[in-house]
Structure 1
Amino acid sequence: MSRFVQVGRVEDVPPGARLHHEFEEDTVIVLNVGGEFYCIADLCTHDGGPLADGELHDHQIECPRHGACFDVRTGRVTRLPATEPIPTYRVRIEDGAIWVEEPELW
């Protein structure tokens, strides 16, 4: 069963903003895209670099290192050189709090 962890509040992440949260072994990015919240791993599957500073275009995040793009809703690769999707995690909003599904430990 998945465990959810509170990572912030809705008012702290306005549309277009992002929030980083470090779990024991993984770092995730919570993104507010037009009022909808998504959570992805801070990890480009092309070379293992971070996505934290990547530009967000609609629902796609671009890796700042080599330009690979991923859909933040599904993790799907939308532009090479990456070929593997990025992990995504479920997000719940309850009473203004942002809750994220905790990544499973390796």
Structure 2
Amino acid sequence: MSRRIPVGTVDELLPGQRKLVFVDGRSIVLFNIEGTIHAIDNSCPHNGASLASGQLDGCMLRCPAHGLRFDLRTGRMPGPGGLAVGTFLVHTSDGKLELSIDESSTALSSAPACKATT
């Protein structure tokens, strides 16, 4: 079963911006990539480093601690295998942002593809 948790408004997360939120004791970071909102756990699965200040290249986020890269759409590292970070569905309703928190497991985002910057 999943539930929606309000985490802000669309107006406060403009394209290119990110926002750190806390839900049920969990740190989650939201990213607005060209108008699409992505949300991931704010903890690198490698060593627990905060991902909130990581460098973005399209939908690829680089962990500031050790350089591991994660796709914001899937939470996975590029290539087969590798580590993954939890992702969450983000809904917009009446100008508000809501995270879908799945009580039994992390809900994977089904967001469209991101363009890499050159």
Asked whether the two chains share a fold, i.e. TM above 0.5, the reply is: yes
Tell me, in whole angstroms, the C-alpha distance in 1 between the residues paired with 2:27 and 2:72: 15
Aligned to 2:54: 54
Identity of counterpart residues, as a percentage? 33
Aligned to 1:22: 22
What's the offset of the Cα at 1:103?
A: 5.8
List structure 1 segments (4+ residues) > 4 angstroms apart after TM superposition. Answer: none
SS in 2 for 1:92: strand
SS in 2 for 1:20: strand
Tell me, in whole angstroms, the C-alpha distance in 2 between the residues paired with 1:88 and 1:104: 13
Tell me, in whole angstroms, the C-alpha distance in 1 between the residues paired with 2:30 and 2:50: 14
Tell me, in whole angstroms, the C-alpha distance in 2 between the residues paired with 1:23 and 1:96: 19
Tell me, in whole angstroms, the C-alpha distance in 1 between the residues paired with 2:48 and 2:39: 17
Tell me, in whole angstroms, the C-alpha distance in 2 between the residues paired with 1:24 and 1:35: 26
Tell me, in whole angstroms, the C-alpha distance in 1 between the residues paired with 2:66 and 2:87: 20
Q: Which runs of 5+ in 1 are unaligned?
A: none
Q: Which runs of 5+ in 2 are unaligned?
A: 105-118
Residues 45 and 83, structure 1, Cα contact 8 Å, conserved in 2: no
**C-alpha RMSD over aligned residues:** 1.9
Report how many aligned residue pairs link the two structures: 104
Residues 68 and 78, structure 1, Cα contact 8 Å, conserved in 2: no
Aligned to 2:109: none
SS in 1 for 2:50: coil
Residues 12-91 of structure 1 aligned to structure 2 (within 5 Å): 12-78=12-78, 83-91=82-90
When normalised by structure 1's length, the TM-score is 0.90
Q: Does 1:96 align with 2:95?
A: yes
Aligned to 2:10: 10
When normalised by structure 2's length, the TM-score is 0.81
SS in 1 for 2:11: helix
What's the offset of the Cα at 1:70?
A: 0.3
